[in-house]
Amino acid sequence: MMSSWATTQALGVGPMVVSERIALMEGRGVVLKIRDNRIVYSIPHGELSHDEAEFLTRSREEVTSIVSVRCRPHLACIAPVVDKPAPGRQGWIRSECEACGSFLGYRPVKP
Protein backbone atom coordinates (compact mmCIF):
# COMPACT_ATOMS: atom_id res chain seq x y z
CA MET A 1 0.00 0.00 0.00
CA MET A 2 1.35 3.43 -0.96
CA SER A 3 1.50 6.23 1.57
CA SER A 4 -0.51 9.36 0.90
CA TRP A 5 2.74 11.20 0.17
CA ALA A 6 3.67 8.61 -2.50
CA THR A 7 0.09 8.61 -3.82
CA THR A 8 0.06 12.37 -4.43
CA GLN A 9 3.31 12.04 -6.37
CA ALA A 10 1.94 9.13 -8.41
CA LEU A 11 -1.23 11.07 -9.23
CA GLY A 12 0.81 14.05 -10.37
CA VAL A 13 -0.80 16.33 -7.79
CA GLY A 14 2.67 17.26 -6.54
CA PRO A 15 4.08 17.02 -3.06
CA MET A 16 3.59 19.71 -0.50
CA VAL A 17 6.50 22.12 -0.13
CA VAL A 18 8.74 20.96 2.72
CA SER A 19 8.26 24.17 4.72
CA GLU A 20 4.45 23.81 4.43
CA ARG A 21 4.62 20.22 5.66
CA ILE A 22 6.80 21.26 8.60
CA ALA A 23 4.31 24.05 9.45
CA LEU A 24 1.41 21.56 9.45
CA MET A 25 3.30 19.17 11.71
CA GLU A 26 4.27 21.97 14.09
CA GLY A 27 0.65 23.15 14.10
CA ARG A 28 -0.25 19.73 15.56
CA GLY A 29 2.32 20.25 18.30
CA VAL A 30 5.25 18.35 16.75
CA VAL A 31 8.52 19.95 17.86
CA LEU A 32 11.41 19.43 15.43
CA LYS A 33 15.00 19.84 16.59
CA ILE A 34 18.38 19.10 15.09
CA ARG A 35 20.85 17.30 17.33
CA ASP A 36 24.19 16.02 16.02
CA ASN A 37 22.94 16.48 12.45
CA ARG A 38 19.91 14.25 13.13
CA ILE A 39 16.24 15.19 13.18
CA VAL A 40 14.82 14.74 16.66
CA TYR A 41 11.12 15.27 17.31
CA SER A 42 8.68 15.24 20.16
CA ILE A 43 4.91 15.37 20.08
CA PRO A 44 2.48 16.05 22.90
CA HIS A 45 0.39 12.92 22.35
CA GLY A 46 0.00 10.07 19.90
CA GLU A 47 2.67 9.01 17.47
CA LEU A 48 4.30 10.32 14.36
CA SER A 49 2.39 8.81 11.44
CA HIS A 50 4.18 6.52 8.99
CA ASP A 51 3.66 9.18 6.31
CA GLU A 52 5.30 11.87 8.47
CA ALA A 53 8.24 9.61 9.38
CA GLU A 54 8.71 8.81 5.68
CA PHE A 55 8.58 12.53 4.85
CA LEU A 56 11.25 13.36 7.46
CA THR A 57 13.48 10.57 6.14
CA ARG A 58 13.13 11.51 2.46
CA SER A 59 13.41 15.27 3.07
CA ARG A 60 16.12 15.06 5.73
CA GLU A 61 18.51 17.58 4.15
CA GLU A 62 15.79 20.18 3.52
CA VAL A 63 14.20 19.73 6.96
CA THR A 64 17.62 20.01 8.61
CA SER A 65 18.46 23.20 6.73
CA ILE A 66 15.06 24.80 7.49
CA VAL A 67 15.08 23.97 11.21
CA SER A 68 18.78 24.81 11.66
CA VAL A 69 18.59 28.19 9.94
CA ARG A 70 15.77 29.48 12.09
CA CYS A 71 17.67 28.52 15.24
CA ARG A 72 21.03 30.17 14.68
CA PRO A 73 21.55 32.83 17.33
CA HIS A 74 23.06 35.29 14.86
CA LEU A 75 19.78 35.27 12.91
CA ALA A 76 17.55 36.71 15.63
CA CYS A 77 16.67 33.31 17.05
CA ILE A 78 13.08 33.24 18.30
CA ALA A 79 13.43 29.88 20.01
CA PRO A 80 13.63 29.94 23.79
CA VAL A 81 16.97 29.41 25.49
CA VAL A 82 17.40 26.43 27.81
CA ASP A 83 19.76 26.83 30.74
CA LYS A 84 21.48 23.68 32.01
CA PRO A 85 24.03 22.97 34.71
CA ALA A 86 27.62 23.16 33.44
CA PRO A 87 29.46 20.13 34.88
CA GLY A 88 33.08 20.98 35.47
CA ARG A 89 32.40 24.74 35.42
CA GLN A 90 31.32 25.54 38.95
CA GLY A 91 29.41 28.82 39.15
CA TRP A 92 28.40 28.76 35.46
CA ILE A 93 25.28 27.80 33.48
CA ARG A 94 25.34 26.40 29.94
CA SER A 95 22.77 27.94 27.55
CA GLU A 96 21.39 26.05 24.53
CA CYS A 97 18.78 26.78 21.85
CA GLU A 98 15.61 24.85 22.72
CA ALA A 99 14.78 24.24 19.05
CA CYS A 100 18.06 22.78 17.82
CA GLY A 101 20.16 22.17 20.92
CA SER A 102 22.98 24.40 19.66
CA PHE A 103 25.40 25.63 22.29
CA LEU A 104 24.93 29.37 22.80
CA GLY A 105 27.41 30.02 25.58
CA TYR A 106 28.11 30.04 29.29
CA ARG A 107 27.02 32.64 31.81
CA PRO A 108 27.68 33.02 35.51
CA VAL A 109 25.10 31.85 37.99
CA LYS A 110 23.41 34.84 39.62
CA PRO A 111 23.68 34.77 43.43
Q: Is the pTM of this model over 0.85?
A: no
When pLDDT is averaged across residues 24-33 and rounded to a whole number, the result is 82
Long-range CB pairs of 55-63 (<8 Å, 24+ gap) are: 55/5, 55/21, 58/5, 59/18, 59/21, 62/18, 63/18, 63/22, 63/32, 63/39
Residue 30 banded pLDDT, cuts 50, 70, 90: confident
Q: Are residues 65 and 86 in the same domain?
A: no
Residue 100, pLDDT score? 66
What is the domain extent for residue 19? 4-69
Q: Are residues 102 and 48 in the same domain?
A: no
Residue 2, pLDDT score? 46
pLDDT above 70 (res 12)? no
CB 73 within 8 A of CB 81: no
pLDDT above 60 (res 75)? no
Q: Are residues 57 and 26 in the same domain?
A: yes
